[in-house]
Chain A
Amino acid sequence: MHAGTSTTHDAHDVHDHIHPPPEGFVRKYVFSLDHKVIGFQYFFTGLLIMFIAGSFAELVRLQLTDPKGAIMSHQAYNTMFTMHGTAMVWLVLIPLVTGALGNFVMPLQIGARDVAFPWLNMASFWILPLAALILFSSLLFGGPHAGWTEYPPISLADGTAGALWCAAIFTIGISSTMTGLNFMVTIMKMRAPGMTWTRMPLFVWATFATALMNMIATVALSAAVGALFLEHVFNVPFYDAARGGSAVLYEHMFWFYSHPAVYIFIIPAFGVVSEVIPTFSRKPIFGYKMIAFSSMAIAILAFTVWAHHMFPSGLAPWLQLPFMILTYAIGIPTGIKIFSWMATLWGGRIHFTTSMLYALGFLITFTFGGITGVFLASVPVDLHAHGTYFVVGHFHYVVAGGAVMGFLAAIPYWYPKATGRMLSERLGQLGFWLFFIGLNGTFLPMHWLGLEGMPRRYASYVDFAKAVPDAVFWNQFETAFSFLMMASIGLLAFNVIWSLRHGKVAGINPWGARTLEWTISSPPPYYNFKKVPEVYGRPYDFDKPLPYRNTDNELDAFPEYGKTVMPTPQPVGAGV
């Protein structure tokens, strides 16, 4: 990133190669190299696809209001849940939590002017719409049907649509790997002077752990879908048992990626919660080191548990044992984190902003998803619950109740920094309650439906409804509640657009937060930091001055520097 053009400013400072901002619409907003703009691009693309994938989910839910299947053929239904899962995982969650949040927040939090490889970053983003285009074009060929896992041999029946699915996943995998590499190098090499590893904000730790997993795990997925593509197009029998291949091989490679992928969504959410809870409790995060190291422990253990998705699928019986034990082991660092967040709340001065509500909601729903995860880790119980709605309920608690809630906590938190305006708290808090109630109403009943005998990926459930007549009621109940979540996301989109113009002006630090991004103007200038700040402590000591030297001049005009300027506290649930 040394264009060699003259620097605009402070030529005597060795660190200060400030490049002039680009000119022209295209360089500024389309093919931008600025990590903040790229973050926005990820955000809006991800949100748009979230609507599409969410509508697919609503169609799935509507179909299940009648045991015979209310609105579409089995074939169409199978396409819907496949597209819902695929798009949510690869085109929504990963781009939103790594692409949007990681890009916007991480460089600001480490006091960097951009990521290490801005061109790579731009390329990573532009791969996303390309992959989306490939994936959605598969609908023209009937769409893929075999679920987001696309296990062969059944997925081989998808023909062209299946090949396009592979191509889309392979393509987005390139983006994930590049982003992982980019963020790792950025965090390792571009931290502000004095920001040692143990002074990094916890969101940066989370991004680091995520980047590591993204970089290592995605390759396995690319191999799995690459081989599937060859089988689709050239009939190379990697997975066809009749010709010497193995169907279980695909499952191993797929889950070697897709188990860590769950942590790729969830660890950034951990990072968000670790920022939001101290800020709105006016307290240092409890157990900084434990939280930071447990993220790394989870990231590493995540690579050792993949076959817990395959207990009944054809593992050697003895092999079930190590995977069960290692999966239990992940419960320990996860538990430590949850208890540390709870301890951070203790003795705090808790402000119920939208972000904080989402963070509190996260603690409850994510814990529930974690506990049901322990049920599934146990081989004997999994032999019953595998492949049922219990699993669907479990992972939606983790993904929607964990990753998405974390993301929804992040939006109101960093939106003021990104745009200079606050989101409406009223709409935000209403959105929280809709989401929280909708989520529990949709996914909680799935647990007992699954244990009672309802397999997942069922376009109709006539026989099951005969055995368990209540199933019809519960399915309709879930469908009704799922629309609350949809409404909440709609409200968020409205809020995001409306507040761009009408939101309250945010100022530098509306939350009295203490990480580096809150020391520069909102929105930050193109170069982020006029002077590279120096760091001499952790960011979470609310009773001390900020641990930074050499911060921007802008800050001098900010009289409350080092103090908090929290808006007047609101009682519980205010603004709803």
Chain B
Amino acid sequence: MVLTLLSIVNALYFLYGSIDWIMPGASQPVTDRASDIDGLFKFMAVFGGAIMLFVAGYVIYFAIAFRARSSDSPDAVGVQIHDAPKLELWWTVLPTLLLIVLTGLSIVVWYKIQFGTAAPGLTTEVIGHQFYFEYRYPGLKTSVFSKTSPMHLPVGVPVRLLITSTDVIHQFWVPEIRLKAAAVPGLVQNLNFTPLRTGTFDVACSEFCGVDHSLMHGKLVIEPVAAFKKWLDSENKTAAAAGGAINLAAGTPATGQALFAQKCAACHQIAPFEQKLVGPGLLHITDDPAHPALVTGKTPTPEHIAEILQNGFTGPIGTMPNRQANGLSNTDIANLVAYLSSLK
């Protein structure tokens, strides 16, 4: 009786209460798939909760009701029954039926997730890197990097994300969207959904990918179509502007030093070459007899260092991200090069 009541309370809570605290954004689904998944979650919470209450409740009730009493003789035994086929049939058939219903519901939602999205209005590539996501939009000349700027998606347009990785396995996850897919090197997976409302949401990597896995974080902005188009245009303009020349002579070491602490110190120390974090130490970049050349094989002139900062470089040590990934403007590059060249 008490248990039935508690189960009903549990059911009412999950069906009609706000479960936002456990499933973020449940009351205002961010995508069409989110509401389907939440429905399935609620179904399981209602029945799973009831089963849990009944098992725990009866275990405790039996333990108390059938406890041995001090008035029992020491060799008192319990009721000697071995089975009760009818009862066993019930507790096999009922859970089986419940699981069959659950299978049906899961298949419906699963089908929608995998095959149910209308032809995508926008296809975006998501590429995992240690430790940021790179987004490539159709028609955009350069990529967008989660380190420096958020991912943007238009509301109401069916999107397809093509997800892959260049280094190790990552996982692209937006909790409010409820979907995730691993970014696996050599494999392209896709996620399909239609954003239903605007807002800013967290993007996280949910597969361990190295030292700074827990810092691999970004934002997703879902905005009206017009705002999205505007953003895409302005990205294109910035990309064009970045094509201009870098005035190396204008760089100042002090500004460069501050920038270095902010953008580079996660991977580089100001220490001898051998003291590597992710990348080599940079103290003697211009005057190391053991390493007269840069990792690119070129002489350590400011121009060549600037080239590495602009384009990035992948060598035996690892991957040095390019300017977009590190979020460097032309002046930033000039300042950093001035700083690195000043080190002795």
Interface residues of A (CB under 8 A from B): 74-75, 78, 145-147, 151, 153-154, 157, 240-242, 246-248, 281-284, 286-290, 312-314, 317-318, 320-321, 324-325, 328-329, 331-332, 335-336, 338-340, 342-343, 345-352, 360, 363-364, 367-368, 371-372, 374-375, 378-381, 383-384, 386-388, 447-448, 451-453, 455-464, 467-468, 512, 541-543, 563-566, 568-569, 571-572
Contacts and interface: CB of A to CB of B under 8 A. Distances in A.
Interface in B161-191: 167-169, 171, 173, 175, 178-182, 184-187, 189
A143 to B, nearest CB: 13
B169 A346 contact: no
A453 B82 contact: no
A351 B68 contact: yes
B126 to A, nearest CB: 13
Contacts of A386: 171, 180, 206
A338 B70 CA distance: 29
Nearest to B208: A457
Q: Which of A318, A321, A340, A451 has its CB near the most chain B CB atoms (within 10 A)?
A: A451
A43 B185 CA distance: 43
Contacts of A455: 171, 173, 204-206, 213-214
B274 interface: no
Closest 10 CB pairs of A and B: A241-B186, A347-B79, A569-B68, A387-B206, A283-B78, A348-B78, A453-B175, A345-B62, A458-B214, A455-B206
Contacts of B181: 312, 383
B55 interface: yes
A284 B37 CA distance: 44
Contact of B171 (A328, A375, A387, A571): A387
B77 A349 contact: yes
B66 to A, nearest CB: 5
Interface in B26-83: 33, 36-37, 40-41, 44, 48, 51-52, 55-56, 58-59, 62-64, 66-70, 72, 74-83
A348 B79 contact: yes
Given A350-B66, A569-B69, A460 B214 contact: yes
11 contacts: A151-B208, A242-B186, A342-B58, A343-B87, A363-B55, A371-B48, A384-B178, A456-B208, A459-B213, A461-B214, A568-B74
B214 to A, nearest CB: 4
Given A286-B83, A312-B171, A455-B205, A380 B109 contact: yes
A288 B169 contact: no
A467 B180 contact: no
A452 B209 contact: no
B226 interface: no
A451 B217 CA distance: 17
B103 A284 contact: no
A74 B212 contact: yes
Interface string B84-97: 10011001100110
Given A284-B81, A328-B103, A572 B55 contact: no
A501 B66 CA distance: 34
B112 to A, nearest CB: 8
Given A157-B210, A349-B76, A387-B207, A314 B182 contact: yes
A241 B106 CA distance: 32
A286 B209 CA distance: 48
A240 B87 CA distance: 54
Nearest to A329: B99
B199 interface: no
Given A282-B77, A284-B82, A348-B62, 5 more contacts: A288-B83, A360-B63, A384-B41, A448-B21, A452-B21
A75 B84 CA distance: 57
A563 B77 CA distance: 10
B175 A463 contact: no
B74 A564 contact: yes
* SS class, residues of chain B in contact with chain A: mixed
Q: Which of A74, A313, A318 has its CB near the most chain B CB atoms (within 10 A)?
A: A313
Contacts of A151: 169, 207-208
Interface of B: 21-24, 33, 36-37, 40-41, 44, 48, 51-52, 55-56, 58-59, 62-64, 66-70, 72, 74-84, 87-88, 91-92, 95-96, 99, 102-103, 106-107, 109-110, 113-115, 167-169, 171, 173, 175, 178-182, 184-187, 189, 202, 204-215, 217
B186 to A, nearest CB: 3
B97 to A, nearest CB: 11
Contacts of A332: 92, 95-96, 99
B185 A321 contact: no
A331 B99 CA distance: 8
Contacts of A347: 66, 78-79, 81
B239 to A, nearest CB: 27
A347 B63 CA distance: 10
Nearest to A460: B214
Nearest to A365: B56
Nearest to A324: B106
A146 B107 CA distance: 33
A458 B213 contact: yes
B180 A312 contact: yes
Contacts of B204: 453, 455, 463-464
B68 A350 contact: yes
A288 B87 CA distance: 14
B113 A380 contact: yes
Contacts of A346: 62, 66, 79
A287 B88 CA distance: 8
Q: Which of A289, A329, A335, A457 has its CB near the most chain B CB atoms (within 10 A)?
A: A335
A384 B180 CA distance: 6
A249 to B, nearest CB: 11
Q: Which of B40, B70, B92, B213 has its CB near the most chain A CB atoms (within 10 A)?
A: B213
Nearest to A294: B92
Contact of A247 (B68, B99, B186): B186
A247 B187 CA distance: 9
B115 A317 contact: yes
Q: Which of A146, A286, A351, A387 has its CB near the most chain B CB atoms (within 10 A)?
A: A387
A286 B68 contact: no
B51 A371 contact: yes
Given A283-B78, A286-B81, A460-B215, A367 B52 contact: yes
Contacts of A241: 184-187
B210 to A, nearest CB: 6
